[in-house]
Structure 1
Amino acid sequence: MKRTRALGRGLDALIPLEDQPGGTVFMCPVDSITPHPEQPRQRFDPQRLAELVQTIKEKGVLSPVLVRSQGEGYQLVSGERRWRAAKLAGLRQIPAILREVSDREALEISLIENIQREDLSPLEEAKAYQALLELYNTTQEELAGRLGKDRSTLANSLRLLKLPKSAQEALERDEITAGHARCILSVKADQQESFLKAILARGLSVRGAEELARALNKKPQKPSIKKRELPPELAWVREKLRSSLSTQVKIQHGRRKGAIIIEYYGNQDLERILKLLGLSPR
């Protein structure tokens, strides 16, 4: 009976072991293996890798990696974290299963294995989804169904690829979260760089970033009267305050009275500004 290949059901659903020749496990020299160049996971958490190294030292590699022939050695199809940990543990050989798969099949297995493990970074996951869309030339809705994911989950993940490069780098360095990233995408493109800088400078939570985004996206009211230009000395004060407090500052100046308006975005941002002004409550 012919099997249908499917996504989201594990590696056996992609390449059933009993349907492929050479399915036995063999001990493969660690140094003869090279990683897959299109591996979606680019970062390996040092702490989790160290824990796996310790487990391998105590119990060995319990699950074989999947490899294919490449020149005089082998290329990893899946299991790079186990291979890296085995090298760090000082192993010379690692259990492996040899599969002669095409470039397309190798990429497919690598992408889906990592998505199923759910330990990719947000940006790595988005890139994996994009690669699968291109690989299958399919729609987001169809891919979501085949992976067993909600379409909205897949769409929100893919939106991260529209972030400016600086925001993508901040997300990869864990300086911001995926929640922050979605806030950045909610403002105009020409405001996204400065919005990211504001999040980092103020240490805004996702909720604080959402409040700031709402403020930026709020349509300004049309002034009923023509604005009067500030005297140069007050314009200088306004700019110094904006720079020192990392927030929007307005000065209203009249003949007999005026006002200085300092904007803040949430309680966290208010506490930050009060502290800068030396007014932080004890």
Structure 2
Amino acid sequence: MSRRALGRGLEALIPQPAAAREGVRMVAIGDLRPNPKQPRKAFSEEGLESLAASIRNHGVLLPLVARPTAHGFEIVAGERRWRAAQRAGLKEVPVLVRQVEEAESLELALVENLQREDLNPIEVARAYEQLQEERGWTQEELAAAVGQSRPAVANLMRLLQLPRQVQQQVRDGALTAGHARALLGLPTAAEQCRLGAEVEERRLSVRQTEERVRRLRRAARGRKRPPQEAGGFAAQRRHLEEQLRRSLGTRVHIEGDAARGRVELHYHSSEELDALLERLLPG
């Protein structure tokens, strides 16, 4: 799919009302499967119940988009409608069946959710990362494909550098993307987690959080750095991550310091996991 088509979003797949509804058919609920690369991982219970009530009264007004597979159909766009239709007791739903390559499914699912503002910042960042890795795009190319500025894309993807605890706070809505970006100004994951918990507990604004970060950094400059930091491990971390990424062919994240920490290896499919294991366990 071209970037022009991706920028147009679902218009590239769903015909306008005046157009003939060729390709739209009723498909049994059980024959549909969610897209495993769906960017959105969390669905609001309240939102699903509200949509289910609407579907009971009015039906599914906008067809889902799905691609045929060996065992039925994989949803490209409309998983939320599919889930709500099940709650509403529907046996089948209208589906626009199109031949869509697997790599394009992620793009279209991302566009649909972005247009509806359904994704939290961490989900968007992970989807951007996955698109970039699968397509081999630069950040400039990725930004053009999703209709965002390069700085906006870069700032969002930086949130993936935060520890899991803070990322979960963003997913849950306890912290905004602005809070999370401010926490990136702290040098260690432990400090980021501590301040993240304080921000949530005290309900600090983004501006207050930024001021707390500045104070913590000033205080840290007045203290002697720990030996492992003085040895330059923090400065080496990104270089080590890049070396491992090139060697293993996947994104690598290192948390901790020179004495203790954790190395995370990322994969997005069983094929990528197999390839990673072959590199780690040769022979």
**Shared fold per TM-score greater than 0.5:** yes
The answer for the alignment partner of 2:79 in structure 1 is 80
1:32/1:215 Cα in 2 relative to 1: closer, same or farther (>3 Å)? same
Opposite residue 119 of structure 2, the aligned amino acid is L
1:137/1:23 Cα in 2 relative to 1: closer, same or farther (>3 Å)? farther
Which structure 2 residues correspond to residues 131-280 of structure 1 after superposition, within 5 A? 131-190=130-189, 191-218=191-218
Q: Deviations over 1:163-187 (max 9, x none)?
A: 1111011111222221211111111
Q: Deviations over 1:175-206 (max 9, x none)?
A: 22212111111111252222223323433222
Opposite residue 150 of structure 2, the aligned amino acid is R
Shift of 1:99: 1.8
3-state secondary structure, aligned to 1:28: strand
1:78/1:215 Cα in 2 relative to 1: closer, same or farther (>3 Å)? same
1:118/1:33 Cα in 2 relative to 1: closer, same or farther (>3 Å)? same
Shift of 1:141: 1.9
Q: Given that residues 23 and 98 in structure 1 are in contact (C-alpha distance below 8 angstroms), is that contact kept between their aligned partners in structure 2?
A: no
Shift of 1:144: 1.6
1: distance between equivalents of 2:5 and 2:26? 29
2: distance between equivalents of 1:64 and 1:112? 16
Q: Percent identity?
A: 42
3-state secondary structure, aligned to 1:96: strand
Opposite residue 193 of structure 2, the aligned amino acid is E
Greater Cα offset, 67-76 or 214-223: 214-223
1:221/1:25 Cα in 2 relative to 1: closer, same or farther (>3 Å)? closer
Shift of 1:77: 1.2
Shift of 1:219: 5.8
* 1:101 corresponds to 2:118: no
Opposite residue 65 of structure 2, the aligned amino acid is L
Gaps of 5+ in 2: 224-283
1: distance between equivalents of 2:157 and 2:84? 30
3-state secondary structure, aligned to 1:100: coil
2: distance between equivalents of 1:188 and 1:222? 15
1:4/1:16 Cα in 2 relative to 1: closer, same or farther (>3 Å)? farther
Opposite residue 178 of structure 1, the aligned amino acid is A
The answer for the alignment partner of 2:114 in structure 1 is 115
2: distance between equivalents of 1:102 and 1:40? 17
Shift of 1:210: 1.4
- Over 4 Å off, 4+ runs: 15-18, 219-223
The normalised TM-score by structure 2 is 0.69
2: distance between equivalents of 1:4 and 1:209? 37
The normalised TM-score by structure 1 is 0.69
Aligned residues: 217
1: distance between equivalents of 2:14 and 2:55? 27
Q: Given that residues 125 and 157 in structure 2 are in contact (C-alpha distance below 8 angstroms), is that contact kept between their aligned partners in structure 1?
A: yes
2: distance between equivalents of 1:57 and 1:16? 23
3-state secondary structure, aligned to 1:7: helix
Q: Given that residues 115 and 128 in structure 1 are in contact (C-alpha distance below 8 angstroms), is that contact kept between their aligned partners in structure 2?
A: no
The answer for the alignment partner of 2:124 in structure 1 is 125
Larger radius of gyration: 1
Q: Given that residues 164 and 193 in structure 1 are in contact (C-alpha distance below 8 angstroms), is that contact kept between their aligned partners in structure 2?
A: yes
1: distance between equivalents of 2:39 and 2:120? 10
Q: Given that residues 4 and 145 in structure 2 are in contact (C-alpha distance below 8 angstroms), is that contact kept between their aligned partners in structure 1?
A: no
Higher helix share: 2
2: distance between equivalents of 1:10 and 1:164? 32
Which structure 2 residues correspond to residues 36-47 of structure 1 after superposition, within 5 A? 36-47=35-46
